[in-house]
Amino acid sequence: MDFRIIRVPALEQALRPNIWDLVALILVIGAMVLIVYGGEQTTLPLSSLDVAPVSLDPVHLPLYALRTTLRMLLAIVCSIVFTFIYAALAAKSRRAEMVLIPLLDILQSVPILGFLTFTVVFFMNLFPGNVLGAELACVFAIFTSQAWNMTFSMYQSLRNVPKDLEEATQSFHLSLWQRFWRLDVPFAMPGLIWNTMMSMSGGWFFVVASEAITVGNTTVTLPGIGSYVALGIEKQNLAAIGYAILTMLFVIIAYDQLVFRPVIAWADKFRFEQTASGDPPTSWMLDLFRRTRALRALTLPFAALNRAFSNLRINWPAGLKATAKSGPPSRLVDAIWFALIAIGTGYAALRAYQYLSASLGLSDVLAALGYGVLTLLRVVVLIAFATLIWVPIGVWIGLRAKLAERIQPLAQFLAAFPANLAFPVFVSLIVHYGLNANIWLSPLMILGTQWYILFNVIAGASAFPTDLREAASSFHLKGWRWWIKVVLPGIFPYYITGAITASGGSWNASIVAEVASWGDTHLTAAGLGAYIAKATEAGDFPRVVLGISVMCILVTLFNRLLWRPLYAFGERRLRLG
Amino acid sequence: MLDQPGKTSLIDIRGVCRSFPKGSGEDLLVLEKVDLTIHSGEIVGLLGRSGSGKSTLLRIIAGLIAPSSGDAKCRGETIQGPPNGVALVFQSFALFPWLTVLQNVELGLEALGIDAPERRKRALAAIDLIGLDGFESAYPKELSGGMRQRVGFARALVVHPDLLLMDEPFSALDVLTAETLRTDLVDLWIEGRLPIKSVLMVTHNIEEAVLMCDRILVFSSKPGRVAAEIKVDLPHPRNRLDPVFRQLVDHIYARMTQRAEPRVPAVEGIHGTGVGMVLRHVSSNVLSGLIETLAAPPYDGRADLPVLANSLQLEADEIFHLGESLQLLRFAQLSEGDLVLTEAGMRFAHLETDARKRLFAEHLVTYVPVMGLIRRVLDERPSHTAPEARFRNELEDYMAEDQADDTLKTIVSWGRYAELFAYDEQSETFSLENPH
Question: pLDDT digit string (tens) for B340-362?
Answer: 999 999 999 888 888 999 999 99
Question: Cβ–Cβ contacts within 10 Å for residue B155, how many?
Answer: 31
Q: Is B262 inside a domain boundary?
A: no
| Closest-CA residue of chain B to A189 | B98
Q: Is B424 inside a domain boundary?
A: yes
| Closest-CA residue of chain B to A188 | B98
Domain end among B240, B257, B274: B257
- Alpha-carbon torsion angle B94, B99, B104, B107, nearest 10: -110
CA distance B67 to chain A (A): 8
Given a contact cutoff of 8 angstroms between Cβ atoms, the answer to whether A226 and A209 are in contact is yes
| pLDDT computed for residue A274 by the predictor | 55
Q: Do A175 and B113 touch (CB under 8 A)?
A: no
Which of B78, B137, B141 to mutate against chain A (most A CBs within 10 Å)? Answer: B141
- DSSP state, residue A573: I
Given a contact cutoff of 8 angstroms between Cβ atoms, the answer to whether A113 and A511 are in contact is yes
Collapse the DSSP code of A119 into the 3-class scheme (helix H, G, I; strand E, B; otherwise coil) and give the result. helix
For residue B20, which of B59, B67, B64 has the smallest C-alpha distance? B67
Q: Is B183 inside a domain boundary?
A: yes
Q: Do B142 and A276 touch (CB under 8 A)?
A: yes
- The alpha carbons of chain B give a radius of gyration, in whole angstroms, of 24
Residues B308 and B395 in one domain: no
In this structure, which topology does domain A46-272 adopt according to CATH?
MetI-like fold (1.10.3720)
Q: Do B141 and A162 touch (CB under 8 A)?
A: no
CA distance A551 to chain B (A): 32
CA distance A484 to chain B (A): 20
Q: Do B98 and A325 touch (CB under 8 A)?
A: no
Q: Is B278 inside a domain boundary?
A: no
Amino acid identity, position A167: E
Give Cα separations from B389 to B376, B404, B405 (angstroms). 16, 11, 11
- DSSP state, residue B232: -
| pLDDT computed for residue A80 by the predictor | 92
Q: Do B92 and A164 touch (CB under 8 A)?
A: yes
CA distance B333 to chain A (A): 37
Q: Is residue B332 within 8 angstroms of chain A, CB to CB? A: no
Q: pLDDT tens-digit profile of B278-304?
A: 888 888 889 999 999 999 888 888 888
Contacts of B379 (CB under 8 A, 6+ apart): B432
B340: domain CATH number? 1.10.10.10
B65: domain CATH number? 3.40.50.300
Q: What is the spatial distance between Cα A483 and Cα B5, in angstroms, rounded to a whole number?
A: 76
Nearest to B64 among A175, A324, A573 (CB): A324
| Closest-CA residue of chain B to A166 | B94
CA distance B64 to chain A (A): 7
Q: Is residue B382 within 8 angstroms of chain A, CB to CB? A: no
Nearest to B90 among A164, A271, A573 (CB): A164
| pLDDT computed for residue A452 by the predictor | 86
CA distance A265 to chain B (A): 13
Q: Do B107 and A276 touch (CB under 8 A)?
A: no
Contacts of B65 in chain A (CB under 8 A): 324
Residues B180 and B33 in one domain: yes
| pLDDT computed for residue A319 by the predictor | 44
| Closest-CA residue of chain B to A326 | B66
Burial classification of residue A26, based on how many CB atoms lie within 10 Å of its CB (0-12 exposed, 13-18 middle, 19 or more buried): buried
- Alpha-carbon torsion angle A228, A230, A232, A235, nearest 10: -130
Helices (H), B89-198: 101-111, 116-129, 145-157, 175-190
Mean pLDDT of B210-226: 88
Per-residue DSSP letters for B340-354? EE-HHHHHHHTS-HH
| pLDDT computed for residue A390 by the predictor | 93
Given a contact cutoff of 8 angstroms between Cβ atoms, the answer to whether B20 and B28 are in contact is yes
CA distance A465 to chain B (A): 25
Q: Do A274 and B140 touch (CB under 8 A)?
A: yes
Residues B185 and B322 in one domain: no
Which of B16, B71, B98, B101 to mutate against chain A (most A CBs within 10 Å)? Answer: B98
Residues B29 and B154 in one domain: yes
Q: Do B108 and A173 touch (CB under 8 A)?
A: yes
Give Cα separations from B219 to A315, B50, B333, B334 (angstroms). 38, 10, 21, 18
Phi/psi for B385 (5° steps) reads -130, 155
Q: Is residue B424 within 8 angstroms of chain A, CB to CB? A: no
CA distance B110 to chain A (A): 8
Nearest to B82 among A171, A189, A269 (CB): A171
Which residue has better confidence, B179 or A272? B179
| Closest-CA residue of chain B to A321 | B81
Residues B195 and B302 in one domain: no
Phi/psi for B45 (5° steps) reads -115, 135
Contacts of A137 (CB under 8 A, 6+ apart): A116, A119, A120, A122, A123, A124, A210, A220
User: What is the pTM assigned to this prediction?
Assistant: 0.77
Residue B201 has pLDDT above 90, yes or no: yes
Q: Do B64 and A170 touch (CB under 8 A)?
A: yes
For residue A103, which of A139, A35, A142, A155 has the smallest C-alpha distance? A155
Q: Do B63 and A274 touch (CB under 8 A)?
A: no
Q: Is residue B428 within 8 angstroms of chain A, CB to CB? A: no
Residues B345 and B366 in one domain: no
Q: Do A164 and B80 touch (CB under 8 A)?
A: no
Given a contact cutoff of 8 angstroms between Cβ atoms, the answer to whether B419 and B404 are in contact is no
* ∠ CA B380-B383-B385, rounded to 5°: 80
Nearest to B98 among A168, A186, A311 (CB): A186
Q: Do B94 and A162 touch (CB under 8 A)?
A: yes
Contacts of B421 (CB under 8 A, 6+ apart): B374, B375, B378, B415, B430, B431, B432, B435
For residue B122, which of B156, B93, B150, B159 has the smallest C-alpha distance? B159
- Alpha-carbon torsion angle A246, A248, A251, A254, nearest 10: -60
Which of A165, A172, A185, A271 to mutate against chain B (most B CBs within 10 Å)? Answer: A172
Contacts of B98 in chain A (CB under 8 A): 186, 189, 269-270
CA distance A176 to chain B (A): 11
CA distance A168 to chain B (A): 7
**Do the two domains A46-272 and A360-577 of this chain adopt the same fold?**
yes
Q: Is B275 inside a domain boundary?
A: no
Per-domain boundaries in chain A: 46-272, 360-577
| pLDDT computed for residue B372 by the predictor | 86
Residues B313 and B417 in one domain: no
Q: Is residue B62 within 8 angstroms of chain A, CB to CB? A: yes
For residue B420, which of B362, B381, B349 has the smallest C-alpha distance? B362
Q: pLDDT tens-digit profile of B360-402?
A: 999 988 888 888 888 888 888 888 888 988 888 888 877 878 8
Per DSSP bridges, beta strands B163-167 and B198-203 are: parallel
Collapse the DSSP code of B414 into the 3-class scheme (helix H, G, I; strand E, B; otherwise coil) and give the result. helix
Contacts of B426 in chain A (CB under 8 A): 573
- Which region, left, alpha or beta, applies to residue A84 given φ > 0 means left and ψ of -120 to 50 means alpha? alpha
Mean pLDDT of chain B: 85
Range of the structural domain that residue B115 is part of? 9-257
Helices (H), B87-142: 101-111, 116-129
Given a contact cutoff of 8 angstroms between Cβ atoms, the answer to whether A230 and B59 are in contact is no
Helix axis angle for B145-157 and B175-190, nearest 10°, is: 30
Question: Cβ–Cβ contacts within 10 Å for residue B270, how many?
Answer: 21
Write out residues in chain A with pLDDT < 70, as ranges.
1-18, 35-53, 129, 273-281, 289-299, 311-329, 576-577
Q: Do A323 and B62 touch (CB under 8 A)?
A: no
Which of A163, A169, A171, A274 to mutate against chain B (most B CBs within 10 Å)? Answer: A171
Q: Is B270 inside a domain boundary?
A: no
Terminal C-alpha separation, chain A = 31
Nearest to A174 among B64, B98, B111 (CB): B111
Q: What is the spatial distance between Cα A216 and Cα A232, in angstroms, rounded to a whole number?
A: 22
Give Cα separations from B15 to A313, B37, B56, B239, B336 (angstroms). 36, 11, 14, 36, 30
Nearest to B139 among A186, A189, A269 (CB): A269
Per-residue DSSP letters for B290-309? HHHHHHSTTTTTEEEHHHHH
Contacts of A316 in chain B (CB under 8 A): none
Q: Do A324 and B142 touch (CB under 8 A)?
A: no
Q: Do A273 and B96 touch (CB under 8 A)?
A: no
How sure is the predictor about B9, in pLDDT bands with cuts at 50, 70 and 90? confident
Right CATH number for A360-577 from 3.40.50.300, 1.10.10.410, 1.10.3720.10, 2.40.50.40? Answer: 1.10.3720.10
Q: Is residue B20 within 8 angstroms of chain A, CB to CB? A: no
Amino acid identity, position A47: S
Give the number of domains in chain B.
3
CA distance B72 to chain A (A): 13
Question: Cβ–Cβ contacts within 10 Å for residue B145, how many?
Answer: 17
| pLDDT computed for residue A129 by the predictor | 67
Omega cis (within 30) before B265: no
Given a contact cutoff of 8 angstroms between Cβ atoms, the answer to whether A244 and A212 are in contact is no
Burial classification of residue B180, based on how many CB atoms lie within 10 Å of its CB (0-12 exposed, 13-18 middle, 19 or more buried): middle
Q: Do A273 and B82 touch (CB under 8 A)?
A: no
* Sign of the Cα pseudo-torsion (A394, A395, A400, A404, in order): positive
| pLDDT computed for residue A237 by the predictor | 86
Instruction: List strands edge to edge, sheet with B429-431.
Output: B385-387, B429-431, B422-424
Contacts of B207 (CB under 8 A, 6+ apart): B240, B249
Interface A–B counts its CB contacts (< 8 A) at: 83
Mean pLDDT of B395-422: 87
CA distance B65 to chain A (A): 5
